[in-house]
Structure 1
Amino acid sequence: MANPALSNNPAFRNNAPVSAATLEELYERPSATPAETNRMTYEDTAVKTVVLFAVLLATGAVGWFVPGLAIVGALVGFVLAMVNTFKRQPSVPLIVGYAAFEGLFIGGITAIFEANFPGVAIQAVLATLVTVGVTLALFASGKVRASARATKIFLIAMVGYLVFRLVEAGIMLFGGTSSPFGLSSTRLIGGIPLGVIVGVLAVLLAAYSLVLDFDQIQQGVRRGLPAKYGWTGAFGLMVTIVWLYVEFLRIFALLNRR
């Protein structure tokens, strides 16, 4: 007996024989592309990344004119970053929300830095674009790849960097220094502010983080993950690029301060 769920559907009721010409035409049809099967692709992930940065730039303009919103953007953006990071399934509204609030933060702090150190904004933007472009080019050419050993070193260095930033923030919070850049701006090593040295190391960490992001996107495409995971890849890239930009902003501000 026929399955009623199928036999009642007109698409399954045609019992006419299939001709040889029809079979040949079906056989010669090209295979379905990843996009047609709703699979993750590089192009789709790139489009999603552009969408997120368009949102970030739009709210960044608001933050530029209302710098006080940077605090709100930083707090809500951090919460959304944590939620998206540990969420098993990507949520488009939460990821877009992160981009929106992160834009308020980036626009606000950029306006503050630019008001005190004219020219640092364009320097930070150009340095970020060059770093992302060079890293992507090296990764695409196969000259730079993520490895287990390098990733282990990266994780150790990241822990050390985060501990350093937390300690510095605690010192600033309890009045240990009046400098907005923390103690690292007042300590010199070979005539260079410690903050600049730490910033350069952070840029190297962010660059390797970009390599990890590119590698994960590549693995996702190769494994044929659903297209929705392109949002996860775009979110990861945004987090890293924002971090990279903030580090460059700090470095150029410290250099201009001298």
Structure 2
Amino acid sequence: MRSSNPVFARSEGFNGRGSSSGMSYPGYDAPPAPAYGQGAGYDAPQQTQAPVSTGPMTIDSVVQKTGITLGTTIVIAAATWILTGPITAESIPTLYALSMFGALVGFGLAMVNSFKKVVSPGLVLAYAAVEGVFVGAFSKAMEANFGGGLVMGAVVGTFAAVAGTLAAYKFFNIQVSDKFRKWTVAALFGFVAVSLFDFVLSFFGASFGFNGFGTIGFIASLIGLGLGVLMLILDFDFVERGIAARLPERESWRAAFGLTVTIIWIYIEMLRILAILRGND
């Protein structure tokens, strides 16, 4: 069953068509399908450009790569926060400019990573670094405008959302159907399209508040948070498919990228919700 998620759609294994189905992954000769639980790995890469790990992707490798990717985002976000200096009336426009730069460049890198057939660890880390600039600048601007404590609240809320979704996925054995994938990804694309449309309209003074901090913005962020949780469920499902297909270890970077995109999405929506609630007090 083919994935609708653009992050994972380029990988055969994430669509249930890895080596276990007898198909070759680009750059690898797939061995005969082993019995489940046997330790058969991938043959040595046939490409000569760069050495690639020959072991299969595992949950440990996914967790490790996700930790590296998220760690890069956190470190760059902290550096951005510190290097932008004290919060003043003059520094807030700079923070918003930095956050816009990070968001736009990060969006471009996300598109490249999503549709790149062979995952590039360097591009994944470049995305994480640029998103760190966005997260750090935007978070600092939110605290400057709406008061302290927002970032810590958003971090705790994000951790709770991710942990709670993972627990629900495992303990309730959530099954991801084809219809669930299609509707979730369609809703995601629709949400992004409306957000970009409102962003463009803002340059002409015609924004309808989808990205703002009013009632419409609050509703939009609640919808965005819900979509983030649904995307996490898709991410977990896709990772399990990739591990079952015995993809090469390098594909852990693709899984890490997908999880990082979703976790940052949830954090930003959580931060916006808290800011709007603080502003309405």
TM norm. shorter chain > 0.5: yes
Displacement of 1:101 after TM fit? Answer: 0.9
CA RMSD after TM alignment: 2.3
Conserved in 1, the CA contact under 8 Å of 2:72 and 2:132?
Answer: yes
Alignment partner for residue 155 of structure 1, among 179, 185, 191? 185
Structure 1 residue matching 2:205: 3-state secondary structure: coil
Aligned to 2:276: 254
Aligned to 1:94: 123
1:162-194: CA deviation from partner (whole Å, max 9, x where unpaired): 2321232133211135x9x657644xxxxxx22
Percent identical residues: 34
Aligned to 2:203: 173
Conserved in 2, the CA contact under 8 Å of 1:63 and 1:70?
Answer: no
| Counterparts of 1:47 and 1:183, CA distance in 2 | 34
Give 2:122's aligned amino acid.
P
Aligned to 1:22: none
Aligned to 1:64: 81
**2:136 paired with 1:107:** yes
Aligned to 2:70: 53
Give 1:51's aligned amino acid.
I
Structure 2 residue matching 1:228: 3-state secondary structure: helix
Displacement of 1:61 after TM fit? Answer: 1.2
Aligned length: 221
1:105-128: CA deviation from partner (whole Å, max 9, x where unpaired): 100100000111122111111111
Q: Which has the larger radius of gyration?
A: 1
Give 2:154's aligned amino acid.
A
Q: Which has the higher helix share?
A: 1
Aligned to 1:117: 146
Q: State the TM-score, normalizing by the size of structure 2.
A: 0.72
Alignment partner for residue 139 of structure 1, among 166, 169, 180? 169
| Counterparts of 1:146 and 1:237, CA distance in 2 | 17
Aligned to 2:234: 212
| Counterparts of 1:156 and 1:97, CA distance in 2 | 27
Aligned to 1:230: 252
Task: Using the TM superposition, name which of 58-67 and 91-100 deviates more.
Answer: 58-67
Structure 2 gap segments, 5+ residues each:
1-36, 43-52, 85-94
Q: State the TM-score, normalizing by the size of structure 1.
A: 0.78
1:33–1:64: structure 2 CA closer, same or farther, 3 Å change rule?
A: farther
Give 2:246's aligned amino acid.
G
1:205-252: CA deviation from partner (whole Å, max 9, x where unpaired): 111101111111100000100000000000000001111111111111
1:140-179: CA deviation from partner (whole Å, max 9, x where unpaired): 22432321122222133223312321232133211135x9
Task: Using the TM superposition, name which of 70-79 and 114-123 deviates more.
Answer: 70-79
Conserved in 1, the CA contact under 8 Å of 2:142 and 2:275?
Answer: yes
Displacement of 1:32 after TM fit? Answer: 3.7
Structure 1 gap segments, 5+ residues each:
1-29, 187-192
Conserved in 2, the CA contact under 8 Å of 1:77 and 1:102?
Answer: yes
1:165–1:75: structure 2 CA closer, same or farther, 3 Å change rule?
A: closer
Give 2:236's aligned amino acid.
F
Structure 2 residue matching 1:88: 3-state secondary structure: coil
